[in-house]
Structure 1
């Protein structure tokens, strides 16, 4: 079990994910420092994209970019990034619309409902910058 802590590729990939999460506290729409953003999904940059592209880059450097292992991690990264900018983004837009419908319906008089989380997915720009961060971390840490 302690071998997992010796897995350099895994540890660097996790570092890339946490670095992207940390950067979110400086990149909110309000343009102010918001420490709560360190635990959210969605936002700039995409920590999911950073995580999987860093993993893919490190596997490519370690096993070769023509290896089966690199191909698997690259496909995995593409699926994760597509999901982050497509499906999860659509869920966030639906949550925003449903929250507006509830607000309009009750005219602010009924505050018993729990608002849906609107920041779920990523814009293509957020995914791209997360991916670039992961590639950068993968390159400098390899």
Structure 2
């Protein structure tokens, strides 16, 4: 029965629940926004990377904000979560955004080579939706902060 206690503790942890709910909200919003913009529903967006808003940014920001509200913005826990949130958000709009751009170029190069050489190259399609624009990261950050404030005021 000790294992059940661990699961119970995990799923009653307000920090975990706030972060996971922020991720879920971001992913649902991302799917809806993608469907509106592209005029078709792509259910794979529910777990996909990239897009508006950033699920990564929403998740880590809500966790850091919730920790700050509960433990104090001068706590070591907030310092760790806050720094990690900055790193994740920076990475989402930096390295991961550039990776997506490079994937787009490489996918086009493969298509062009197939046209000019009449050879079928190995079927490797690189993921192009992996990073976020600054606006997508900002939207995720705002979603995370708002969700943490709501959780703090209603559930803590």
Interval containing the TM-score (normalised by the shorter chain): over 0.9
Q: Which protein shows a greater Rg? A: 2
- 1:124 equivalent in structure 2: 134
- Paired with 1:21 and 1:139, the residues of 2 have a C-alpha distance of 19
| 1:55-106 deviation digits (Å, cap 9, x = unpaired) | 0110001001111111111100000001111011111111100001011111
Q: Normalization by structure 2: what TM-score? A: 0.85
Runs of 4+ in 1 over 4 A off after TM superposition: none
Secondary structure of 1:65 counterpart: coil
CA distance in 2, matches of 1:50, 1:31: 25
- Of 96-105 and 30-39, more deviation after overlay is shown by 30-39
Structure 2 residue runs of 5 or longer lacking an equivalent are 1-5
Q: Please provide the CA RMSD for this pair.
A: 1.5
Normalised by the length of structure 1, the TM-score is 0.93
- Cα distance in 1 for residues equivalent to 2:87 and 2:51: 18
Partner of 1:51: 59
Unaligned runs of 5+ in 1: none
- Residue in 2 that maps onto 1:134: 144
Residue aligning to 2:80: 72
